[in-house]
Amino acid sequence: MTILYTILIILVVIVAYVVINSMRLKKSVTNLTQEQFIEGYRKAQLIDLREPKEFEAGHILGARNIPMTQLNTRHKEIRPDLPVYLYCQNSGRSARAALTLKKKGYSQLYQLQGGFKTWTGKVKSKN
């Protein structure tokens, strides 16, 4: 019986963690469709959070590459008084980046729903 209770407690903790993280994320970042993203990203700071090799293979025209792995040390390159449009390959890194930036005082945070893999707009690549 104690094994069952232990498993149940673990499941409750996991569900609580997921729900709390989801609520924090919703308060931190606004999801935008590609059309909404296109409407605003030229007036904002467009940040590609993917690693340099991913960025060089193709990125949204006008994007600046600040990999998620470097965000804690490079966040000061992003102005907190201007909107920040974030994207990564599929929205996972951009969601985490939004939480990080929110903690550092950024408030106008937006992410591309579905990430770069769903992008059908203009792309620039080094190849």
List domains and CATH numbers for the chain. 2-122 (3.40.250.10)
pLDDT score for 8: 87
Integer-rounded Cα Rg, in Å, for the chain is 17
The residue from 63, 66, 88, 109 that is catalytic is 88
Reported as a pLDDT band with limits 50, 70 and 90, residue 26 is: low
Res 27: pLDDT: 67
* Residue 117: DSSP 8-state: G
88 is a catalytic site residue? yes
> Per the structure block, which two tokens stand in for 92?
């996972």
Instruction: Give the model's confidence band at 2: pLDDT under 50 very low, under 70 low, under 90 confident, else very high.
Output: confident
Please state, in angstroms and rounded to a whole number, the distance separating the CA atoms of residues 108 and 126. 30
Better-predicted residue by pLDDT, 120 or 1: 120
